[in-house]
Amino acid sequence: MGQGQQDKVATSLAGAVSEEISASLAPVDAELESRYPGDPGTRQPVHTVYVPGDAFAADTLRSWGDQALATLDEHAPDAASFAAVLGLSDELAEPVYSRVRAKLEREPVEDLRVDFEDGYGPRPDAEEDETAARAARLIAEAYRNGTAAPYMGIRMKCMEAPVRDRGIRTLDIFLTGLMEAGGLPDGLVLTLPKVTYAEQVTAMVRLLEAFEKARGLEPGRIGFEIQIETSQSILATDGTATVARMIQAAEGRATGLHYGTFDYSACLGVSAAHQAGDHPAADHAKAIMQVAAAGTGVRVSDGSTNVLPVGPTAKVHDAWRLHYGLTRRALARAYYQGWDMHPGHIPTRYAAVFAFYREGFEQAAARLARYASRTGGDVMDEPATAKALSGYLLRGLDCGALDIAEVARLTGLTRTDLEGFAAPRRGDLTISGK
């Protein structure tokens, strides 16, 4: 073939064939869009702190930050001592420690759940009524005066018969209180615990629909998290993954799946001494949760540890090392959120998160920069990897592990650019990045 000549392009199929195939797959296309919309692209908190309803007060968030700072001052007063406890490298010691202290001063808690379930227990109805109304008032005030955590809400009692009416009433009082105080805040999050059947999720949907209708809210305005705390929520008697049914039963309202470390472990007969986030039973449950939620826009959260960093320094350091290790382990498995039970846990929560993002930051930035500019390197990345790289950087920015200036310097990209790579059109993920 001479220079400049082009191969003749020929086809054998009539255009009607493609049209017929597209028509036959139209229901599948619609289902893909409906069931797998992808990550919502909003900030995901790195943890959820839960505080019993009777202990929640106007100064709870600041109190947790102050207690965490006091724990650092007493047991790791400088970067070197903190790094020695956690095994941080010399390069990470100062950046992580300084960022942890700044975070505790600026935003000690990213997500707070006022607890009306296990942490609160059964109370006289009048007492729980008053506590729910007070929680609504305090949260509304916090959002008004700018002292709220990015996300706040309640964990109600579950949908099981003995406590169902009480849980419904508490939720009604709480949501009504927020409406009366000016409306539902953007950061509102609700948690439905101890779900065993998809029908209980459906019941929660019907309950929220009724509230939205009663208060003239846009349908679908209120979402909720599903707490996975029973074996029945993972595997049904017929062997199917119940948690996948629950996501569908939520009809688009599910925002998260939260693993309940101790209830789930106990349900399987795991002895108290071995109930932890790294037990094989926990790994199995969370892996199923993760696969069921992938692509649906529902996020997965790890559970908590009940080993508290209190007492003499040696004991605090042991608890810190345990919590740091569990958090790092969860991050490596793409569980980007967990539950914290004590103010002493949040220094190691943030230390683990900040170290995770800072130690991989330069490599991730370089790979994404090469992908964005289509230049070579020792790794050939695809659009799906670019999505993961940009998501990694965005998570680091959201929590305070990274600064936008350093990300822009190494990638040449703006936050808007990162968000574009993190949420590509569906078809883009099947196209080679070359």
Helix (H) or strand (E) holding 225: strand 224-228
CB 357 within 8 A of CB 392: yes
User: Does 107 fall in a domain?
Assistant: yes
Mean pLDDT of the 302-329 span:
97
Which pLDDT score is estimated for 429?
A: 43
When mean pLDDT is compared across 129-133, 295-299, 307-311, 418-422, the lowest value belongs to 418-422
Q: From CA 184, how far away is CA 389, in angstroms rounded?
A: 34
Domain that holds residue 148: 47-356
pLDDT at residue 214 greater than cutoff 90: yes
pLDDT on residue 58: 97
- Model pTM score: 0.91
How many other β-carbons are positioned within 10 Å of the β-carbon of residue 271? 8
* pLDDT for 426: 47
* 329 shares a domain with 406: no
> pLDDT value at position 422?
87
The reply to whether 202 and 343 lie within a common domain is: yes
Query: Is 8 part of a structural domain of the chain?
Result: no
Number of domains in the chain: 2
pLDDT, tens only, 412-432: 999 999 999 887 654 444 333
Do 217 and 344 reside in the same domain of the chain? yes
Residues 288 and 380 in one domain: no
- Read off the pLDDT of residues 56-75 as tens digits, 9 standing for 90 and up: 999 999 999 999 999 999 99
Judge whether residue 309 has pLDDT over 80: yes
Q: Phi/psi at 215 (nearest 5 deg)?
A: -105, 5
Q: Are 267 and 275 in contact (CB under 8 A)?
A: no
Same domain, 220 and 316: yes
Strands of 302-427, DSSP E: 338-340
Q: Are residues 403 and 271 in the same domain?
A: no
Q: Is the pLDDT of residue 292 over 80?
A: yes
Distance (Å, rounded) from C-alpha 197 to C-alpha 245? 9
Unique residue bearing structure tokens 């949040």: 346
Residue 378 reports pLDDT greater than 70 = no
Q: Tell me phi and psi for residue 98, to 5 degrees.
A: -65, -35
Cα–Cα distance, 317 to 400 (Å, whole number): 24
Mean residue pLDDT across the chain:
93
3-state secondary structure at position 4: coil
Rounded to whole angstroms, the Cα distance separating 343 from 330 reads: 20
pLDDT reading at 97 higher than 90? yes
- Kindly list the distances between the CA atom of residue 361 and the CA atoms of 45, 106, 187, 332, 389, in Å, as whole numbers in the listed order: 19, 23, 28, 14, 9
Q: How many other CB atoms are there within 10 angstroms of residue 387's CB atom?
A: 21
pLDDT at position 432 is 32
347 and 375 in a common domain: no
Q: What is the pLDDT of residues 120-176, one digit of tens each?
A: 999 999 999 999 999 999 999 999 999 999 999 999 999 999 999 999 999 999 999
Domain contains 61: yes
